[in-house]
Amino acid sequence: DIQMTQSPSSLSASVGDRVTITCRASQSISHYLNWYQQKPGKAPQLLIYAASSLQSGVPSRFSGRGSGTDFTLTIGSLQPEDFATYYCQQSYSTPPFTFGPGTKVESK
């Protein structure tokens, strides 16, 4: 099975900061990479699919890049509602639909 890792596991940032989260796959997954946001007590919500396609309704400050094994999620200007945990997920070799361990974005 493909394994997913994320870095950092957590980060502290301020409103207005540019934030970048990295996700790495244990083997090439082309562009088959999704990003989800989860706020405390809530279900995950899809942000980006196919590595860089923004889900409908998601603010344009969120962007995704990458292919192969290395991917990034960038929040262009962090907003108060963006403090959450972010997960990547591979959909290249499925099942299983493996998730990364998550990156928690906290307020500095």
Partner 1 sequence: EVQEVESGGVVVRPGGSLRLSCAASGFTFEDYPMHWVRQTLGKGLEWVSLISWDGSSTYYADSVQGRFTISRDNSKNSLYLQMNSLRTEDIALYYCAKEIKDCSAGSCYRYFDFWGQGTLVSVSS
Judged by the rule CB under 8 A, the positions of this chain that interact with partner 1 are 30-32, 34, 36, 42-46, 49-50, 53, 55, 87, 89, 91, 94-102
**Structure tokens belonging to residue 82:** 């963006």
In the complex, minimum distance from the CB of residue 101 to partner 1, in angstroms, rounded to a whole number: 5
In the complex, minimum distance from the CB of residue 76 to partner 1, in angstroms, rounded to a whole number: 22
Residue 103 CA to residue 67 CA, distance in Å, equals 19
In the complex, minimum distance from the CB of residue 13 to partner 1, in angstroms, rounded to a whole number: 21
Q: 81 phi and psi, to 5 degrees?
A: -80, 0
DSSP 8-state class, residue 41: T
SS3 label, residue 40:
coil
Given a contact cutoff of 8 angstroms between Cβ atoms, the answer to whether 75 and 65 are in contact is no
Instruction: State which residue, 44 or 66, has the beta carbon closest to partner 1.
Output: 44
Instruction: State which residue, 13 or 46, has the beta carbon closest to partner 1.
Output: 46
Instruction: State which residue, 2 or 75, has the beta carbon closest to partner 1.
Output: 2
